[in-house]
Amino acid sequence: MLLLAVDTSGKQGSIALARCGAGENCARVEIAVVEVVPLTGGTFSAQLVPQIAALLEKHGYSKSDLGGFAVASGPGSFTGLRVGLAAIKALAEVLHKPMAAVSLLEAVASSGAARGRVLAALDAGRGDVYAGDYELAPKLQMHSERLLSREEFVAEATCAESEGKSIVTPDALLAQVASAAGVPVERIECPNSGVIARLGWEHLRRGETVSPEELEANYIRHSDAEIFAKPAR
C-alpha cells in the first residue's frame, strides 16, 4: 500500500510518501519511507497540494495509487493544522481510502529511546507546555494529554522521573528547564511526516481509522477567539 502522510502542525512542515506491506518473508509487516519533502511555514495553503502532486509524479504515481493517509492532528498551529487536515480530509473522501490521525505528542513519545512509560513535552508558547503521558510497551496507549504551565511541567516531570517514566522533548528550552530542576531529559529531533507515516501505518493496521467528517484537530489549548470571547449576556 502507498501511504501519504502530512504534518503542518508547526512553523515548518513536511509531507512523506511511504510504501507499506508485508516483508520479504511475509512474517512481518514493514513500512519504507520513500521520501520526506519539507514545507516552509507561513505558506502551507499554497504549497501543500502542489507539493503532494509533485512528490507523486516524481516517483511515478498518481493520487489514485494512494491506499491510505496519515495526518498530524496536533497540538500545534491552529491555522497550519487546519490546512493539513482539510487537504487530507478531501483526498480521503474523494478516493474513499482509510485515514489515521496521529498526535504530535505520540510522535514525540515514540521517537525517544525509551519503550516504557513516557512523558512527552512540547513548548506551547506563552510559558505553557503540551504534555502527553504515554505507555509505549507492550502496547501503545495514551493516558493523558494536557496543557501545563512551565511550573506544572517541572512538577510533573519530577514526579514522572521518580516513578520511572522517561521525559522526552525536542525543545531545547524545556530540556534546560527540566535539567535545571534535576530531572534527566532525552532531547530528540522534532518528528517529521516520516514519523507520522510510521505511526499512521500502525494505526491503520490496528483498524484505528477516522472518517473525514469525524477528523478534528487536537488543539488541547483553546483558540484566542475562545479565550478572549466576551461571555454571552
99 and 196 in a single domain? The answer is: yes
Is 141 found in the same domain as 121? yes
80 phi, psi to nearest 5 deg: -60, -45
Predicted local confidence at residue 66, as pLDDT: 98
Exposure class string for 130-156: b at 16+ Cβ within 10 A, else e: bbbbbbbeeebeeeebebbebeebbeb
* pLDDT surpassing 60 at residue 4: yes
Question: Which set of grid coordinates corresponds to residue 68?
Answer: 491510505
Domain annotation covers residue 233: no
Count of domains forming the chain? 2
88 in any annotated domain: yes
Amino acid identity, position 61: Y
Residue 48: the pLDDT is 95
**CATH code of 121's domain:** 3.30.420.40
Question: 82 and 196 share a domain?
Answer: yes
Q: Give tens-digit pLDDT for 94-143.
A: 999 999 999 999 999 999 998 899 999 999 999 999 999 999 988 889 99
- Global pTM value: 0.91
Q: What value does the mean pLDDT take over residues 11-36?
A: 81
Bridge partners (DSSP) listed for residue 225:
none
Residue 128 belongs to what domain range?
Answer: 113-187
* E strand map for the chain: 2-7, 13-22, 29-39, 66-74, 99-103, 117-125, 128-135, 141-149, 166-169, 186-187
CA distance 185 to 233: 47
One-letter amino acid of 154: V
Q: Do 46 and 71 share a structural domain?
A: yes
Q: Does the structure show a pLDDT above 80 at 233?
A: no
* 108 belongs to a structural domain: no
pLDDT band at 222 (very low <50, low <70, confident <90, very high): low
Q: Are residues 51 and 96 in the same domain?
A: yes
pLDDT band at residue 29, thresholds of 50, 70 and 90? low
Do the beta carbons of residue 165 and residue 118 sit within 8 Å? yes
